[in-house]
Amino acid sequence: MLILVGLGNPGPKYTNNRHNIGFFAADAIARRWRFGVERQKFQSLMSEGVIETPTGPVRALLMKPQTFMNESGRAVGAAVSFLKADPTDVVVFYDELDLAPGRFRMKAGGGAAGHNGIRSITSQIGPHFRRARMGIGHPGDKDRVLGYVLGDFHKSEATWVDDLSKACAEALPMLAAGEDERYQAEVMRLAPAEKLDPRKAAQKGTEGV
């Protein structure tokens, strides 16, 4: 079974935060593939569904941890343990400061690069899970990062956020088939975004707002 995890913080206060773009992707996946009704399990809002691929259907568990970002690993670890899943069956969708807004990159394994949700998951299941990195840009100064990721997307950013989330959902058969490079290319084809310096791009995107 494929375990798809969208990271974010629970509650209306955080709904439109940049840190919650993983939740946006999870919701788009649930809509596109008509996953079942959400229910509480594994300290998450969880639903199940089937993704059709050229080689056959793949069952998937979709999770939005409700533990707050810094403790996301508790939820993911519980699911992996219960299902006896391999960490490579886990794909985590989350905000990436080091990619320009709208850019998308897949990565397998590696460090947390300062992301507390990824650090928490690594502490529970090790580093070898797959990461779907959704670019939000960088505010330019490390002292501004917390306020930036916990700040809401501006109205001017709504289109690319929606396009990227839908592309992550539409291209999902490639991910489910284990073709991460093709998945990355297809997401970027469906939701093209200019490759820019993430610091300059983020500043440009908020100018005059």
Q: Residue 145's CB: how many other CB atoms inside 10 A? A: 14
74 vs 99: CA distance, rounded Å:
27
Whole-structure pTM value: 0.95
How high does pLDDT run on average in the chain?
94
What would the pLDDT profile of 6-63 be if each residue is shown by its tens digit? 999 999 999 999 999 999 999 999 999 999 999 999 999 999 999 999 889 999 999 9
Yes or no: say if 62 and 26 are a contact pair by the CB < 8 Å rule.
Answer: yes
Region of residue 94 (left: phi > 0; alpha: psi -120 to 50; beta: else): beta
Rg (Cα) of the chain, in Å, rounded? 16
User: Active-site residue numbers?
Assistant: 19
pLDDT tens for residues 79-89? 999 999 999 99
For the chain, domain boundaries = 2-203
Task: Please write the tens of the pLDDT for every residue from 87-108.
Answer: 999 999 999 999 999 999 999 9
* Predicted local distance difference test score (pLDDT) of residue 208: 39
Give me the mean pLDDT over the 143-160 stretch. 95
* Cα angle, residue 201 at apex, residues 165 and 27 outer, rounded to 5°: 10
> CATH assignment of 2-203?
3.40.50.1470
Q: Which residues of 106-116 are buried (b: 16+ CB within 10 A; e: fewer)?
A: beeeeeeeebb
